[in-house]
């Protein structure tokens, strides 16, 4: 199915879900659960927690699908945002001092470089790819690490081997440059 | 915001907080205030939506992973009271033992194979059920104490294997490497695994050796994998491939 047709089908299913049509929720699940589960697993690193979060996501979609506004957001972006936010909330609720998942350690630059390759598919992705490409490598890595892996400033600073304050200012400057570039 | 890089105007401050919220880097207290603000401050909400749109393509870089087959039933059970005509009885707040990860840790390969069938079925949106394609196999990779460490779904036709860690392996500073051992043959390297994250490995050459009853095994190796072409470290998990 073409991206536009997919988007339309999902938006339609969300509208039907908001009207209380259960089969529409199933359709949304079938179309999106692998993507959303991938996002949750990436942030949480544990299958059981990611399953719990995914369950919460679809239950909340059922209960709050009325909050979707096709004029303001693309359905998959809206759903992915719910999944990311739930997963991040969950990871922040873990008891303090718990280490991030094994495999989360290591330099942040490499995963971001490979991640960027996949962005070249669609127009919007290409623009983000180009604008991320204008950032310095440690900042680009930190943005991808935060967004995709759910790392806090503190973890990013530790991984990058820089003080917390430096990481905060890197990311804030990177965000400002990113917005300026995307709006050019 | 904080001590650093004070925003030059209130408007910038709102936008930067929105961006930090979307990125997910806010400390828990600041994140809670931001979540509350979403409800009460339309300007802030609009900035958050803008940033969601800007960064959304990054989620396309995350490999999709099919959730376990039982998950949809869990959701359905949660929602059953809302669905008229449903005769599913729910016990809010309680989960049946077979929904939990425990299943994945103790299940037999046969039940996993059945579950994987359902995964494949669920993955075909809006198409009538078809027989499972040939060349798709699953394996539960268990430690010597019977604990399942990984679940692998292998597609020989496409030359790929998705390996999901189901409980933490103690890698002890080394890196798990996946091997395939054909019936009566020698181990062939497939690729490096994560200890906490699912991984899709494309290795058409090695996976051409995949047949039912062939063994998948994980050994611990130095970073980058064994240099000898054969496992050098201890084997921490193994399991036989089963056809679907």
pLDDT tens-digit profile of A88-103? 999 988 755 444 443 4
My answer on whether A16 and A83 are in the same domain is yes
Alpha carbon A44 to chain centroid distance? 12
Higher pLDDT, B3 or A21: A21
| Chain A nearest CA to B185, separation (Å) | 31
Closest residue to B61, CB basis, from A22, A104, A148: A148
Torsion angle, CA of A51/B46/B58/A143, rounded to 10 degrees?
Answer: -100
My answer on whether B122 and B234 are in the same domain is yes
Residue of A73, A145, A71, A163 whose CA lies nearest to A105: A145
My answer on whether A79 and A153 are in the same domain is no
My answer on whether A69 and A137 are in the same domain is no
Closest residue to B195, CB basis, from A25, A103, A176: A103
Identify the closest residue of chain B to A177 by CA–CA distance: B16
Q: Is residue B207 part of a domain?
A: yes
Instruction: Tell whether the model's pLDDT for residue B68 goes beyond 60.
Output: yes
| Residue B235 · residue B218 · CB < 8 Å | yes
Q: Does A170 touch chain B (CB under 8 A)?
A: no
Residue in the structure block whose two tokens are 């957001």: A73
Q: Is residue B82 part of a domain?
A: no
Cα atoms in the 13 Å half-sphere on the side-chain side of B127: 11
Q: Which element (helix H / strand E) includes B153? A: strand B148-155
Identify the pLDDT of residue B92.
33
Q: Is residue B212 part of a domain?
A: yes
My answer on whether A79 and A116 are in the same domain is no
Of the listed ranges B112-121, B176-185, B208-217, the one predicted with least confidence: B112-121
| Last residue within a domain, chosen from A64, A93, A122 | A93
DSSP reduced 3-state for B215:
strand
Let me know how long chain A is. 184
- The rounded radius of gyration (Å) of the Cα atoms in chain B is 23
B9: confidence class by pLDDT, cuts 50, 70, 90? low
B11: confidence class by pLDDT, cuts 50, 70, 90? low
DSSP B179: E
| Residue B195 · residue B209 · CB < 8 Å | no
Q: What is the pLDDT of residues B166-212, one digit of tens each?
A: 877 767 677 788 999 888 888 888 888 877 778 888 877 888 888 88
My answer on whether B142 and B212 are in the same domain is yes
Q: What is the DSSP string of A117-174?
A: HGGGGSHHHHHHHHHHHTS-HHHHHHHHHHHHH---HHHHHHHHTS-HHHHHHHHHHH
Residue B192 CB partners (closer than 8 Å, separation 6+): B175, B176, B177, B178, B199, B201, B224, B225
Identify the pLDDT of residue A112.
45
Q: What is the pLDDT of residues A151-182, one digit of tens each?
A: 889 889 998 899 999 999 999 999 999 999 99
CATH number at residue B227: 2.60.40
Does the predicted TM-score (pTM) go above 0.80? no
Identify the pLDDT of residue B189.
87
Residue A29's domain comprises 3-93
- Distance, in Å, from the CA atom of B57 to the CA atom of B193, rounded to the nearest integer, reads 26
Instruction: Tell whether the model's pLDDT for residue B101 goes beyond 60.
Output: no
My answer on whether B119 and B236 are in the same domain is yes
Identify the closest residue of chain A to B78 by CA–CA distance: A59
- Distance, in Å, from the CA atom of B152 to the CA atom of B199, rounded to the nearest integer, reads 10
Alpha carbon B142 to chain centroid distance? 18
Identify the pLDDT of residue B81.
59
What six digits make up the tokens of B205?
Answer: 């050459």
Q: Is residue B97 part of a domain?
A: no
My answer on whether A63 and A15 are in the same domain is yes
Contacts of B93 in chain A (CB under 8 A): none
Q: Does B24 touch chain A (CB under 8 A)?
A: yes
My answer on whether A129 and A157 are in the same domain is yes
| Residue B139 · residue B216 · CB < 8 Å | yes
Overall average pLDDT of the B108-116 stretch: 44
ipTM of the complex: 0.86
Among A residues 85-104, those touching chain B with beta carbons less than 8 Å apart: 85, 88-89, 92, 101-104
CATH number at residue A22: 1.10.1740.10
Residue in the structure block whose two tokens are 């990779």: B141
Longest dimension (CA), chain A: 51
| Last residue within a domain, chosen from A93, A121, A153 | A93
Task: Please tell me the total count of domains within chain B.
Answer: 2
My answer on whether A8 and A57 are in the same domain is yes
My answer on whether A11 and A70 are in the same domain is yes
My answer on whether A119 and A177 are in the same domain is yes
Q: Is residue B5 part of a domain?
A: no
Identify the pLDDT of residue B105.
37
Overall average pLDDT of the B91-103 stretch: 34
My answer on whether B137 and B18 are in the same domain is no
Q: Is residue B87 part of a domain?
A: no
Q: Is residue A67 part of a domain?
A: yes
CB contact under 8 A, A148 and B165: no
My answer on whether B124 and B54 are in the same domain is no
Among A residues 17-36, those touching chain B with beta carbons less than 8 Å apart: 20, 22, 25-27, 29-31, 33-35
Q: Is residue A80 part of a domain?
A: yes
| Chain A nearest CA to B2, separation (Å) | 9
Cα atoms in the 13 Å half-sphere on the side-chain side of B93: 0
Number of cross-chain residue pairs from A and B with Cβ atoms under 8 Å apart: 184
B4: confidence class by pLDDT, cuts 50, 70, 90? very low
Q: What is the pLDDT of residues A15-74, one digit of tens each?
A: 999 888 889 999 999 999 999 999 999 999 989 999 999 999 999 998 877 678 888 888
Q: Does B27 touch chain A (CB under 8 A)?
A: yes
Task: Please tell me the total count of domains within chain A.
Answer: 2
Instruction: Tell whether the model's pLDDT for residue B131 goes beyond 70.
Output: no
Residue B198's domain comprises 107-243
My answer on whether A117 and A84 are in the same domain is no
Q: Is residue A104 part of a domain?
A: no
My answer on whether A89 and A114 are in the same domain is no
Task: Give the highest mean pLDDT range of A33-37, B59-63, B148-152, B160-164.
Answer: A33-37
Residue A138 CB partners (closer than 8 Å, separation 6+): A108, A109, A160, A162, A170
- Distance, in Å, from the CA atom of B68 to the CA atom of B83, rounded to the nearest integer, reads 23
Q: Is residue B130 part of a domain?
A: yes
């Amino acid at each position: 199915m073409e991206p536009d047709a997919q988007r339309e089908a999902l938006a339609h299913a969300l509208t039907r879900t908001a009207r209380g049509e259960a089969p529409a929720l199933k359709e949304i699940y079938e179309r999106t659960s692998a993507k959303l589960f991938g996002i949750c697993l990436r942030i949480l690193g544990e299958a059981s927690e990611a399953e719990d979060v995914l369950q919460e996501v679809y239950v909340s979609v059922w209960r709050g699908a009325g909050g979707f506004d096709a004029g303001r957001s693309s359905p998959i972006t809206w759903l992915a945002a719910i999944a990311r936010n739930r997963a991040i909330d969950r990871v922040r609720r873990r008891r303090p001092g718990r280490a991030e998942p094994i495999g989360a350690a290591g330099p942040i630059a490499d995963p971001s470089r490979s991640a960027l390759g996949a962005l070249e598919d669609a127009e919007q992705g290409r623009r983000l790819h180009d604008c991320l490409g204008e950032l310095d490598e440690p900042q680009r890595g930190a943005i991808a690490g935060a967004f995709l892996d759910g790392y806090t400033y503190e973890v990013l600073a530790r991984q990058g081997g820089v003080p917390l304050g430096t990481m905060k200012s890197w990311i804030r400057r990177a965000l400002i440059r990113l917005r300026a570039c995307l709006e050019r | 915001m904080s001590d650093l890089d004070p925003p030059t105007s209130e408007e910038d401050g709102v936008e930067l907080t929105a961006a930090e919220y979307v990125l997910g880097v806010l400390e828990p207290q600041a994140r809670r205030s931001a979540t509350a603000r979403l409800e009460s401050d339309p300007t802030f909400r609009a900035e958050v939506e803008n940033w969601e749109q800007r960064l959304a393509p990054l989620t396309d870089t995350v490999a999709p992973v099919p959730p376990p087959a039982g998950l949809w039933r869990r959701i359905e059970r949660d929602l059953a009271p809302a669905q008229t005509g449903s005769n599913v009885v729910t016990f809010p707040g309680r989960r049946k033992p077979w929904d939990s990860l425990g299943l994945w840790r103790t299940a037999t390969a046969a039940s996993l194979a059945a579950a994987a069938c359902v995964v494949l079925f669920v993955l075909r949106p809006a198409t009538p059920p078809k027989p499972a394609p040939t060349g798709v196999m699953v394996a539960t990779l268990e430690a010597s104490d019977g604990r399942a460490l990984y679940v692998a779904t292998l597609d020989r036709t496409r030359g790929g294997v998705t390996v999901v860690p189901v409980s933490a392996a103690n890698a002890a500073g080394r890196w798990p490497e996946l091997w395939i051992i054909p019936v009566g043959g020698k181990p062939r390297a497939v690729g490096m695994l994560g200890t906490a994250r699912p991984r899709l490995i494309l290795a058409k050459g090695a996976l051409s050796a995949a047949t039912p009853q062939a063994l998948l095994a994980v050994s611990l190796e130095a970073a980058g994998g064994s240099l000898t072409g054969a496992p050098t470290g201890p084997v921490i998990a193994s399991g036989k491939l089963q056809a679907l």
